Structure 1
Amino acid sequence: MSFFKGQFANVVEWEEFRDDMIFWKWTNREIKKGSKLIIRPGQDAIFLFNGKIEGIFRDEGEYDIESQIIPFLSTLKGFKFGFNTGMRAEVLFINTKEFTVKWGTKNAINIPTLGLPGGLPIRANGTFNFKVGDYITLIDKVAGIKNTYLVDDVKLRITSTLDQLLMKWITKEGKDMFNLQANAFDISKGIKEDLDMMVLNDGINITGFNVMSFNYPEEIQEMINKNASHSMIGDVGKYQQVSMVDGIASGKVKGGGTASDMAGMMMGMNIAKEMIENVNKTKETSNEAKPNFCPNCGEKTGAGNFCGNCGEKLI
């Protein structure tokens, strides 16, 4: 009999391992006497019988199935191997690591913006992280009908809803459409919570979501950059006047499309408003500074900047 010993034995292991594979199912084969289970680092093995979980094994190593695995299975702990008797079961191998996935909007998202009838076209990109959190739910909703599950399967589902979620959280609480990066943390946090609820029913947990950058059309980005640079100039009023004249003379404000034209108009109106306010402040300051009577001779002052009686400078 020693000649036949172990001739039907097999090795139960993750045979088609890939870094982007979330789980892989060892199936449609009979486990024979003397078979081994191999669990590698970053893997968990789940024994399934008739679609039900019999046991979950998390520690890496090599195990004798008859002596070290079967005694811990729920309904198969009393199973005895015979010479021609094997056990037909499935083993699901789970990748336990946290996956990091890059994402980016394929097309521009037109975010509703006051003064822009077609919305402000914005693109965004970043990363999200996920891992398997609930084995029972994963088996019930996904592994029951699939033999493998890839990162791309999760990414496809996530990215299919990102446009709607980005629009929801960008427009929430009236965020500044021309400075979204300042609100990136709050937007990311809101999207993460929504995504986590969405994939929770598949046994997946979203462990992180990050918006790395928001991208505007080139013409609008140039306007945003120029407008931002105003705060770095000492004489803002003067710089605004020069900037407007420069834009009109160079023709850069023409032909940019409806969105950029409207955005330019909005920025231009804001700049013009600031210029008028600056001029009015200057006049008010000037009027307040001129005395009604000459501090030198006491004569009543007129409209000039010097006293008509003694020539004293009034301003």
Structure 2
Amino acid sequence: MALGNFFKRQLSQVIEWKNQDSSLLVYKFPSSNDELKNASKLIVAPGQAAILIYEGKVADHITENGIYDIESDNHPFITTLLKLRTGFESEHKLKIYFYRTAENVNLNWGTSQAIKYVDPIYKMPIELGANGSFSFKIADPLHLFTNIVGSKDTYTINEAKQLLQSRFPQGIASVLATGAFSYQQIDSQLPTIANNVKELLNAEAENLGLALTDFKVNGTIFDEETKERIDRVSDITADAMAAKEGGLTYVELEKLKALRDAARNEGGLAGAGLHLGVGMELGKTFDLARQEQLNAPTEDTVTKLQQLKLLLNEGIITQEEFDSKKKEWLDKF
């Protein structure tokens, strides 16, 4: 060891986190053998705080900005000369860790796995992805340092982000399920969902020494199977609404459509009826069911005309039958 370097090690130091790296959450001040000398100065700048580890224990936690004097048992010259046989090292080790106190804002997130829950209204499985942004800060520095950071010299914002983000899918799924949000309501309820997710996730973030200060869900996207299920539900809903407008129930309309298709199939009514389970007596033909609906009485002319139009659109009756019945009912009006 050069004599100049030897004496340099005995001089007091200025300890500070210069040019604070915006990607770091925790930063250990680099010091040879962790032997920080008496009369060293510790500078804690705005947006920072410091944890001092002396002889393996937390000796101090400095949260106020300013300049501090460092005192330790590492007396210059004497300690180092006495430790010549152990490579000039002292058992009196002082490590200083800086951490970021400012919020980490507008971090983008997206789910890497599908969020799964059962739609509370339609009772069908839903799978979707989601994305948004969030902000967080250190809430309990000593807890984070002891249980998460450990002896690492640095801990990045990205590491903390990944740790938090891994909790997002389950949190969102839980909020969607317990909040009874149907797939139809999700887009219109994003602010409410985001606020509920933030509240739920903060309980877990607290166990990490962190806190979510903001959480937003910007959008969702359903997987292909879910889209197919939604399309089928939409079709059924549209058919049910059309049937209701025509004075029929959804079941009645589906029976008529099944009979219509059966009559067009080469196998005839019996084969199709057995397969589809339309629930009608096999002896009734499509024509009989069609005539029953065509001549079904009603007190409301407008409703009857709507029903006739529905039957025409679905191919249950012909244009000629529609025109004839339309004229008949309009004459009664």
TM class, shorter-length? 0.5 to 0.7
Q: Does 1:261 align with 2:228?
A: yes
Letter of the aligned partner of 1:286 in structure 2?
A: T
TM-score normalized by the length of structure 2: 0.61
- Partner of residue 138, structure 1: 144
- Partner of residue 242, structure 2: 275
Q: Displacement of 1:153 after TM fit?
A: 1.5
CA distance in 1, matches of 2:49, 2:225: 55
Letter of the aligned partner of 2:168 in structure 1?
A: L
CA distance in 2, matches of 1:163, 1:47: 37
Q: Does 1:88 align with 2:88?
A: no
Q: Displacement of 1:13 after TM fit?
A: 1.8
Q: Displacement of 1:270 after TM fit?
A: 0.7
Structure whose CA Rg is larger: 2
Give per-residue Cα distances to partners, 1:99-146, cap 9 Å, x unaligned: 1221101244344347686x3331110122211112332232134332
Letter of the aligned partner of 2:53 in structure 1?
A: L
Q: Displacement of 1:12 after TM fit?
A: 1.5
Segments of 5+ residues of structure 2 without an aligned counterpart are 1-6, 81-91, 249-297, 304-327
Aligned-residue Cα RMSD (Å) equals: 3.3
Would the alpha carbon gap of residues 33 and 273 (structure 1) be closer, same or farther in structure 2, given more than 3 Å must change? same
Please tell me whether the aligned partners of residues 48 and 54 of structure 1 are also in contact (alpha carbons under 8 angstroms).
yes
Would the alpha carbon gap of residues 184 and 258 (structure 1) be closer, same or farther in structure 2, given more than 3 Å must change? closer
Q: Displacement of 1:284 after TM fit?
A: 5.9
Please tell me whether the aligned partners of residues 39 and 62 of structure 1 are also in contact (alpha carbons under 8 angstroms).
yes
Q: 1:35 aligns with which of 37, 40, 46?
A: 40
Give per-residue Cα distances to partners, 1:28-61, cap 9 Å, x unaligned: 4211244222222211122221233322333434
Would the alpha carbon gap of residues 127 and 284 (structure 1) be closer, same or farther in structure 2, given more than 3 Å must change? farther
Please tell me whether the aligned partners of residues 21 and 148 of structure 1 are also in contact (alpha carbons under 8 angstroms).
yes
- Work out the number of aligned pairs and report it: 240
CA distance in 2, matches of 1:5, 1:155: 40
Q: Does 1:148 align with 2:154?
A: yes
Letter of the aligned partner of 2:41 in structure 1?
A: K
- Partner of residue 49, structure 1: 54
Would the alpha carbon gap of residues 304 and 45 (structure 1) be closer, same or farther in structure 2, given more than 3 Å must change? closer
Please tell me whether the aligned partners of residues 47 and 92 of structure 1 are also in contact (alpha carbons under 8 angstroms).
yes
Q: Displacement of 1:213 after TM fit?
A: 1.2
Letter of the aligned partner of 2:58 in structure 1?
A: I
Would the alpha carbon gap of residues 51 and 198 (structure 1) be closer, same or farther in structure 2, given more than 3 Å must change? farther
CA distance in 2, matches of 1:32, 1:179: 63
Please tell me whether the aligned partners of residues 6 and 33 of structure 1 are also in contact (alpha carbons under 8 angstroms).
no
Q: What secondary structure does 1:202 align onto?
A: coil
- Partner of residue 177, structure 2: 171
Q: 2:199 aligns with which of 193, 200, 213?
A: 193
CA distance in 2, matches of 1:108, 1:102: 17
Letter of the aligned partner of 1:40 in structure 2?
A: A
Would the alpha carbon gap of residues 5 and 271 (structure 1) be closer, same or farther in structure 2, given more than 3 Å must change? closer
CA distance in 2, matches of 1:258, 1:131: 38
Give the number of the structure whose residues are more often helix, by fraction.
2
CA distance in 1, matches of 2:171, 2:62: 38
TM-score normalized by the length of structure 1: 0.64
Would the alpha carbon gap of residues 138 and 50 (structure 1) be closer, same or farther in structure 2, given more than 3 Å must change? farther
Would the alpha carbon gap of residues 274 and 199 (structure 1) be closer, same or farther in structure 2, given more than 3 Å must change? same
